[in-house]
């Protein structure tokens, strides 16, 4: 639980910015160069580079420079978070149904004892 | 009620249904009208949905396209969950989207079916469908397996403690 929270928290900080979320969405559809991204988001190269660096630091994005072009793709972190989220969701769902069961038992008992 | 029937009531069935679906099936010792109410009456929802934590039902607009939003106050913080209703067919079926504030954009579709089992019992079949990154499906599935096995083990332990 704590492990998930720490991992998720640091990546949420990177995700707190609308442009960075947009970059992830864009890269979800396929890799793109820094200048592609600058054009899509109507930002300067320097501005986009800053955002990409934050995403790269939290392993949400990886970049590779070939010649003069730096290409950005989704990093491994995003997948880890997806996996963590799915496992967490399933646990929550199971716990929720456990509590529903207890609630129904309680309610039924009350109904039986009420006049 | 015979012992074996009683056991069957408590048994939870959890199966993965393809790579991106989680299916949970449970039978409750309560009539369907009451189970339906537990899902749709804000006062009743607040008593179980938060898993023992305080739950604030901010919105529960029970209509197609209606917005629901619950906020759970758990020991590790305050967590908001919300979505929209896609289908409401009392007392048989609820379909809604599910999102956690902590994973914005990761929408899950929850499909909950309420079936009568005799007069006094109700089976819930909950199917949750995830959208996940297409080209990485293979990797995601292999990572999920471990997480799911851990969850199964936890569930087994929980079931063993029930009377």
Q: Is A5 exposed, middle or buried (0-12, 13-18, 19+ CB in 10 A)?
A: middle
* pLDDT of res. B141: 45
* pLDDT of res. A87: 82
Other CB atoms within 10 Å distance of the CB of residue B20? 17
Contacts of B139 in chain A (CB under 8 A): 79
Distance CA A64, CA A52 (A): 12
Pairwise CB contact (< 8 Å): B28 & A104: yes
Instruction: Check CB contact of A61 with chain B, cutoff 8 Å.
Output: no
What's the whole-model pTM score? Answer: 0.61
**Predicted interface score ipTM higher than 0.95:** no
Instruction: Check CB contact of A73 with chain B, cutoff 8 Å.
Output: no
Residue A107 is nearest to which of B34, B108, B130, comparing CB atoms? B34
User: What is the pLDDT averaged over residues B30-41?
Assistant: 95
- Residue A4 neighbours by CB under 8 Å, 6+ apart: A84, A88
Distance CA B157, CA B3 (A): 20
């Amino acid at each position: 639980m704590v492990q998930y929270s720490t991992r998720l928290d640091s990546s949420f900080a990177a995700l707190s910015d609308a442009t960075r979320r947009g970059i992830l969405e864009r890269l979800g559809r396929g890799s793109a160069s820094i200048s592609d991204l600058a054009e899509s988001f109507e930002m300067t190269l320097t501005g986009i580079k800053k955002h990409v660096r934050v995403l790269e630091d939290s392993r949400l994005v990886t970049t590779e420079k070939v010649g003069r072009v730096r290409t950005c793709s989704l990093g491994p972190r995003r997948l880890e978070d997806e996996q963590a989220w799915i496992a967490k969701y399933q646990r929550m769902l199971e716990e929720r149904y456990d509590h529903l069961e207890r609630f129904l038992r309680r309610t039924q008992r009350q109904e039986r004892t009420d006049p | 009620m015979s012992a074996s029937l009683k056991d069957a009531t408590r048994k939870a069935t959890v199966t993965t249904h393809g790579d991106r679906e989680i299916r949970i099936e449970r039978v409750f010792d309560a009539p369907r009208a009451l189970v339906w109410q537990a899902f749709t009456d804000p006062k009743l929802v607040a008593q179980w949905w938060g898993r023992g934590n305080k739950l604030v039902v901010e919105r529960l607009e029970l209509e197609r396209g209606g917005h629901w939003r619950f906020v759970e106050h758990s020991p590790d913080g305050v967590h908001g969950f919300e979505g929209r209703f896609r289908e409401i067919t009392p007392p048989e079926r609820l379909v809604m989207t599910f999102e956690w504030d902590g994973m914005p954009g990761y929408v899950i579709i929850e499909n909950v079916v309420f079936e009568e089992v005799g007069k006094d019992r109700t089976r819930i079949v909950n199917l949750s469908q995830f959208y996940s990154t297409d080209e990485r499906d293979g990797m995601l599935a292999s990572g999920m397996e471990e997480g799911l096995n851990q969850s199964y083990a936890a569930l087994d332990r929980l079931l063993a403690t029930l009377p």
